[in-house]
Amino acid sequence: MICFTTHNFFLFKRQEVWFYNGDNLTPAGYCTFAYTLEKDIPKNALIEWTSCIDLNKSIDQLYHAISSTFRLHINKAIRSGINAHINFTPSVKDCKRISNEVKTFAKLKGFAFNKHRLFSLQRSGNLCFSKANIEPTTIVTHVYLHDNKRIILLHTYHNLKFEDHKMRSCANKLLHWFDIQEFKKRGFEIFDWGGINAELLPGITRFKLAFGGSSEKCYSYINIVPSLQLFVKLYKHFRK
């Protein structure tokens, strides 16, 4: 389980709780529960599905669980000289760069990005990122959050100036395989792909499942104490 604070004002404290398992929590006025694994959840919770890879399997089992086409692309990326790197202790400077890059990419692709989450995770030591390069050019970057056992993909984005789309695709697959191996070496037990949805995101879902994970049901919801509900409405209004 991961619990961290993204906003801490005089009357308003916002916490995010990932992989909640029923453990005791320090009370906060506004709590967002993401991918909770507990069964005792509110009726209005959002039901979600994610794909998870069991990192207790051997490297050989993990590799051969990947689709044969993707394995060909991974080997092509290796032969092309693409290198992969991972950073489990990103600095504030690293986070500022990543934040700017993801913000630009998110605006173009139309998805939400929370920079407060990124910096909160950096402070708590629960953030890591990896990248695939053809020196000196970074092609693809992955951003993750993690606790002691589980690591989840938050964002994937690519260099918008890198125009070789086939090579970028190979680099992305190689980087995912590199990440899986690194996570296993570091003792993580579960690699969580961060959500799948066959109806809304069929292409992304097929991509994630091609790495051999199994589907898992999880839930997300928000708890707000009554005394803060009006404050939260006003905060969201002025954030628009």
Binned at pLDDT 50, 70 and 90, residue 133 comes out as: very high
Per-residue pLDDT tens digits for 36-71: 988 788 888 999 999 999 999 999 999 999 999 999
Cβ–Cβ under 8 Å, residues 208 and 195:
no
Q: Assess if residue 17 is contained within a domain.
A: no
240 pLDDT exceeds 80? no
Q: Assess if residue 212 is contained within a domain.
A: no
Binned at pLDDT 50, 70 and 90, residue 229 comes out as: low
Single pTM value for the model: 0.91
Alpha-carbon distance of 185 to 109, in angstroms, equals 33
Region 16-35: what's the mean pLDDT?
87
Binned at pLDDT 50, 70 and 90, residue 122 comes out as: very high
Domain hosting 162: range is 54-194
Q: Assess if residue 61 is contained within a domain.
A: yes
Q: Assess if residue 176 is contained within a domain.
A: yes
Q: Assess if residue 113 is contained within a domain.
A: yes
Q: Assess if residue 83 is contained within a domain.
A: yes
DSSP 8-state class, residue 88:
S
Q: Assess if residue 74 is contained within a domain.
A: yes
Q: Assess if residue 73 is contained within a domain.
A: yes
Alpha-carbon distance of 131 to 86, in angstroms, equals 7
Given this model, what pLDDT does residue 128 score?
A: 98
Per-residue pLDDT tens digits for 165-188: 999 999 999 999 999 999 999 999
Q: Look at the chain and report how many structural domains it folds into.
A: 1
CATH number, domain containing residue 183: 3.40.630.30
